[in-house]
Amino acid sequence: MGSAATMAMTALYFTTIKSTKLTSTFRTLPRFTCSSSSKFNISFSPSNPKPKPTPQPKTQTPHDDDDEGPLMIPWIVRGEDGNFKLLSEPPPSFLKEMANAQTGTKKSEKDQITKNKKKGEKETKIRAVTAPPKYSKAARRFYNENIKDDSGTRLSKVLAASGVASRRSCEDLIFKGKVTVNGSVCNTPQTKVDPSKDNIYVNGSRLPKRQPHKVYLALNKPKGYICSSGEKESKSVISLFDDFLSSWDKKHPGVPPPRLFTVGRLDVATTGLLIVTNDGDFAQKLSHPSSNFSKEYIATVDGLVHKRHLTAISEGTTIEGVHCVPDSVELLPRMPDTQRSRLRIVVHDGRKHEVRELVKSAGLEIHSLKRVRIGGFRLPPDLGIGKYIELNPTNLKALGGRVNKANS
């Protein structure tokens, strides 16, 4: 019992000593004032200093402070009103900067976006330079080899390439149930088929397993021929290739003749370069406006051509609601055997009757119009009217196409 009382008295004694030491450590600061000139004097001498208590032995505990106790450090900061203030604790901004410096914390994405907004910069997101792929390379390879079905060609495209009819007419045959694949009626033009493996019948006739080769021809179109083959009473440019198709069996036995069609069109009165093929993908690429292929025409006009006419043509005109401007307009020297003026006009939009409309808007009248170039391929000067040549790989490269080696 005596030992317990002694321990209690000892604990009370050290508690009293510690409270007295903490109380004596804090000092009272005198009142001070600050002027706008930022010059001031501060005195920290205590008004009634108290004697320092006699050091006493202390018990080592994990919560004991140093002998001198906590020391209050004054902080002088400038307030929002511009005057200096005395604080007993560090300002929050200083603590935040210290924490960032110690931990290496970076600015958050939100802070960066806010900073960009304040500077008037475009809002951007902080992201990695290279994002990881959604799927691994092995997973994509497995999908392409085992799941993805790239084999075969659309049924409507196979029928059109085999010379049955145009692709649109082939789709109508499929919708009407005139086509069977492996003994079953197929009503979907997008069905993937392989002519070398599947049995395809159209109106009871079997489609040849071998597909015709890709054919690329350049024709010097004569006047009076149309590019469409739908009107029987008019002369079609496809009829100019009758000798080519009739000799097909001798050159390619067992292979059906190709179904030829024109890449783009020239009106019945326009002559010159016209591409004919059976490759639908090539024709789509060459004729689509996104290919941006330039086309050069020689326009022979009636009357004299002045500078104002050239200016009017170069400024363009509106065709089908779109303002079309030619790439270039040039007045060519007169030929010795004619008194008419010739204009070289280069366009790329490909609008219907574009060159004729450009010349008409300038107040001139076209006597004859001839196309002499498409892209990088120019009509051979020795190619007679109504004649054609087969395009070689160099010619196709100039047109932006390429030859399928399997069909060469």
User: Could you list the active site residues?
Assistant: 267
Tokens of 43: 């005195």
Number of H helices, E strands in the chain: 12, 19
Tokens of 13: 């004694």
Tokens of 210: 């071998």
Residue located via tokens 């008194």:
339
The answer to whether residues 361 and 317 touch, using CB atoms and an 8 Å cutoff, is yes
The answer to whether residues 213 and 180 touch, using CB atoms and an 8 Å cutoff, is no
The end-to-end CA distance of the chain, in Å, is: 115
How far apart are alpha carbons 66 and 187 in whole angstroms?
Answer: 93
Q: CA gyration radius for the chain?
A: 46
Report how far apart, in Å, the C-alpha atoms of 382 and of each of 139, 378, 386 are: 57, 11, 12
